[in-house]
């Protein structure tokens, strides 16, 4: 019973070593993850440089109406924002995204999910706090 039992079962060593191993493991992991964004930035810079290198002359292609942002974002985001912004006035600022989805749905605006995602990606909608957003225009 008591300290004698701890010592008899190697308790002090197990506790000290256990704490040290867990701390070391998470310190190493935290150091590693603190470097990930630098590695990613480095990799992206390299890719950007490669993209800037003079490309071989190719036949001009017909320009496709590619969206300015990722995936299926519409090009005329600012115009769309002009449509969406008045809808949020009754909601006040900041507002919840689900409310914006709701009013957009009620107004029969097409593809509100994609459009709102694109607003966020373009920085037109910014997060004020947990789950609350406002317009940045």
Partner 1 sequence: MYELLISFLTNTGYYFISQDFRYVLMILVGLLFLYLGIAKKYEPLLLVPIAFGIVVGNIPFFKGFGLGIYEANSVFHYLYFGVTTGLYPSIVFLGLGAMTDFSSLLAQPKLMLLGAAAQMGVFFTLLGALALDFLPKEAASIAIIGGADGPTSIFLTAKLAPHLIGPIAIAAYSYMALIPVIQPPIMRLLTTRQERRIRMDEPREVAKTERMIFPILGVLLCCLLAPTALPLLGMLFLGNILKESGVVERLAKTARSAIIDTATVFLGFCVGMSTQADVFLTEKSLLIFCLGALAFSLATASGVIFAKIMNLFLRKKINPLLGASGVSAVPGSAREVHLMGQHEDPGNYLLMHAMACNSSGVIGSAIAAGVLWSFMM
d(CA 89, CA 119): 17
Residue 133 phi, psi dihedral angles, 5° rounding: -130, 160
d(CA 81, CA 87): 10
Closest contact distance (angstroms) between CB of 17 and partner 1 is: 8
Q: Which is nearer to partner 1, 40 or 93 (CB)?
A: 40
Query: Cβ neighbours of residue 70 under 8 Å, at least 6 residues apart?
Result: 121
Determine, following the binding rule CB under 8 A, whether residue 48 of this chain makes contact with partner 1: no
Determine, following the binding rule CB under 8 A, whether residue 25 of this chain makes contact with partner 1: yes
Determine, following the binding rule CB under 8 A, whether residue 21 of this chain makes contact with partner 1: yes
Closest contact distance (angstroms) between CB of 137 and partner 1 is: 20
Task: Give helix 77-88 / helix 112-121 axis angle, nearest 10°.
Answer: 100
d(CA 99, CA 87): 10
Q: Which is nearer to partner 1, 108 or 130 (CB)?
A: 130
Determine, following the binding rule CB under 8 A, whether residue 28 of this chain makes contact with partner 1: yes
Interface positions with partner 1 (CB under 8 A) = 1-3, 5-6, 9-12, 14-19, 21-34, 36-37, 39-40, 43, 129-130
């Amino acid at each position: 019973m008591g300290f004698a039992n701890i010592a008899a079962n190697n308790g002090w060593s197990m506790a000290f070593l256990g704490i040290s191993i867990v701390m070391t493991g998470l310190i190493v992991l935290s150091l590693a993850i603190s470097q990930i964004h630098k590695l990613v930035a480095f990799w992206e810079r390299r890719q950007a440089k490669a993209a800037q290198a003079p490309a071989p002359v190719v036949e001009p292609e017909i320009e496709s109406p590619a969206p300015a942002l990722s995936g299926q974002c519409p090009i005329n985001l600012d115009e769309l924002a002009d449509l969406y912004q008045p809808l949020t006035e009754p909601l006040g600022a900041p507002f919840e995204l689900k409310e914006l989805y709701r009013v957009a749905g009620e107004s029969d605006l097409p593809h509100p999910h994609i459009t709102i995602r694109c607003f966020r990606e373009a920085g037109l909608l910014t997060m004020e706090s947990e789950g609350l957003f406002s317009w940045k225009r």
